[in-house]
Structure 1
């Protein structure tokens, strides 16, 4: 039986559906690991339900046709990561809708998988070693939960210490990966400490010109209020580097998993 349905490289691979398309394929292992839950896709920290989503098969594609019409040429710009010398920067994206459940997270995951795929294939074509973690997905709400686990009063050390280590490991990955998703950055009820750590990630990435996909239920013009910025320098930096893509419609979570 072909392993193509389990491999994110299948749509680009001439061996897909052939006799060599098995779980022993070196490229499959590089992308998904020996058990299908590792490799570069696993290292990206994508939720399981999004690990095989692409721009072509995304369940949000039909309902967000205007967004996907722009994403098709956008992912083609990922080839710029291999260009030598001064080159036009790959833009970041700000995926926004007032309503949750319109496909923002699904779309962010699809773009992430496209980046991972193009990074791997492009590296192989140029006889380069592909990065072990070219992309990373940070669920900001889940990250805030980790923060709360070690910052509440009377938290036992055996609970607080692992949570703190995991929190800062995720923070470092989100700062440094070439491509990152910050999922749901419009969190409002946060402490100054957590807000400062989130700002540190965004500021580091903006300063270093790294690609960031933001998803939010908050319009980009409203971020200064969320970030408590009197002078919206950080938000201006986000806006300068981003293509804003508004999502339309109402939540479809009752019909399918499309956050």
Structure 2
């Protein structure tokens, strides 16, 4: 499910991997567990360089292929994810969380570093989440780049999309290595919030990427229309024709974005 897919893998402040070590023969002790931690509030200087490099490689004027996908639906989360990121808002009540979602996917031309880009928007009535994922075509070190922002559902989805909500989570998935992540961190246990002023350029760069791809993918018109169809409230189509949508994957030829 979209709402939790990023939260359950970003692992902000949570365990990344656990490996059991066999106990010595004849020992009655439980196997030891080693836990690696992601420092998402204060990544190292080397990790900051990796994030900056990955963001800088995202194409600003991409050449899209003819294949695309627009899908919509409703998904129910009946159980809490096994691991949630620290300080992240989430549905913790006993009742299932139901989220409406819209997905948009475009494929890059063969010469691009990235093979495809997927945008998703979800709203469970409490929190709205946008996620942009760029998949590397031939992963040798970097596999994918994920950018996420969120906002309270007290505002409308149209208002959130029009306001270009800034990114609050960045994550690099790497081949054979631990992920690299950076996230906005809140105060814990009544203490002050961590000073993240040094990471503002990275957050700004990520927000610029997401804002640019909102425009390239037609998010501000496609998403509200698709959400209205889920809710059974059709909207008047604008003069600019948007790609057709459906609840299943579609492949059609569309003109390149302006």
| TM-score, with structure 2 as normaliser | 0.28
Max radius of gyration: which structure? 2
Higher share in strand: 2
Higher share in helix: 1
| TM-score, with structure 1 as normaliser | 0.28
